[in-house]
Amino acid sequence: MSSQKQAEEAIVPTFNESEHGEGGRTNEEDEEPVLSMKSLLWHGGSAYDAWFSCASNQVAQVLLTLPYSFSQMGMLSGVLLQIFYGIMGSWTAYLISVLYVEYRSRKEKENFSFKNHVIQWFEVLDGLLGPYWKAAGLAFNCTFLLFGSVIQLIVCASNIYYINDRLDKRTWTYIFGACCATTVFIPSFHNYRIWSFLGLGMTTYTAWYLTIASLVQGQVQGVTHTGPKKLVLYFTGATNILYTFGGHAVTVEIMHAMWKPQKFKYIYLLATLYVFTLTLPSASAVYWAFGDQLLTHSNAFSLLPKNGYRDTAVILMLIHQFITFGFACTPLYFVWEKAIGMHDTKSVFLRALVRLPVVVPIWFLAVIFPFFGPINSAVGALLVTFTVYVIPATAHMLTYRHASARQNAVEKPPFFLPSWTGMYMVNAFVVVWVLVVGFGLGGWASVTNFVKQIDTFGLFAKCYQCPKPVVPAQPPQLHHR
């Protein structure tokens, strides 16, 4: 048998272990018919599943806040920055996929088995660059996912309030916190097949509802479009768009759930191109219709007329927030399981029980900071900048800094940029741009805006940006002598 044949037989079984890994198929399930209902709805690991997961995870509550960002920075900047950050985000997702394959290949040569173990981004950094990078990846990723989950709860409360305002938003946050806690029963990203498919369908409906409803509504009387007006608002809006295309915190987990993770390379770009068909028309149409009114309405639903179409969009977004909450929380569940030594537990109910402590601080933070528009921008500037852009680009440069590493690289530079020097130049540009514009200027603007919201509404705000109740005029009192 040739050495090449032996190498192929050694690699194929180990790379396919991802389908037998944590939350994947068991030996018993491998014997099921290919078209069984259980495998059709539950066990996703194809490139199509990964595409649905990436697209569904990108488009969530940002659909409702992008018109707000457009009002802060103007139509032209809003459109151009969406395209710019979408392409940049796709590039760094590609880098993460390359580093994942490199790490996994090296570990397989050491006969390391990934059965019942989900590879995560901080482990890739640890294996390729050492413990300090592991600590940085773990800190930024977990904090990002924590606040990403917080945002989902806040948005649930904000959205349902537009259907039923008999309860305030804080009470709705309590209710949806309990509902979203049920995601502890979903083992891993293998099991999000049907949820990812439905989630993308829901956001597609919502995006086109926002577009069509705004065009049918037409421009409100006296509409103005003064953005960009202030630097603080401009860079706050820009970092919210940066956040929009920053779903990379779950990229490695999605890859690991694939039967053939090598196919992931361009999936994120294809998902982003579809996302453009949702975000660009909806944000532009809503901003065209309502203009500067959006500066005080971070949720686009608040300005559209109440009717069956809007209520349907709200309900669909509520279901999607549940799905996105699960997407953001699942990597946190994995980290917690590994920390307490329960990651290889096969009992779904036992794992659900040990995961519950992860949900409690998320629930609490959602009650403390109920303003999700400013939180989006703050998370984008302080966390997404490093998690999504700076760390992947820098890690790629350091991993392949030596000639021997480049020569033995599992993944060579892409066909559209075949030079290692070119890759280094693109990575260096990403790092400098994001540090200066995203973290520097964006961080200053977002924190300033966030503090302003706290000063205006206070912590534990009972009903953030709710219309003030109309106090009936008191009849004049007659004074009798």
Looking at residue 7, its amino acid is A
Closest CA to 62 of 373, 312, 313, 311: 373
What confidence category does residue 10 fall into, taking pLDDT thresholds of 50, 70 and 90?
very low
Residue 330's CB is within 10 A of a number of other CB atoms, namely: 26
List pLDDT tens digits, range 444-462. Answer: 888 887 777 665 555 555 5
Contacts of 1 by beta carbon, 8 Å cutoff, 6+ apart = none
pLDDT reported for residue 64 = 86
pLDDT digits (tens, 9 = 90+) for 91-114: 999 999 999 999 999 998 888 877
**Among the ranges given (18-22, 59-63, 271-275), the one the predictor scored with the smallest mean pLDDT:** 18-22
The chain-wide mean pLDDT, for the chain, equals 82
Tokens matching residue 42: 């539950």
* Number of neighbours of residue 421 by Cβ within 10 angstroms: 9
Q: What are the b/e assignments for 250-281, b being 16+ CB within 10 Å?
A: bbbbbbbbbbbbbebbebbbebbebbeebbbb
Provide DSSP, 117-171: ----HHHHHHHHH-HHHHHHHHHHHHHHHHHHHHHHHHHHHHHHHTT--SS-HHH
The whole model's pTM is what?
Answer: 0.82
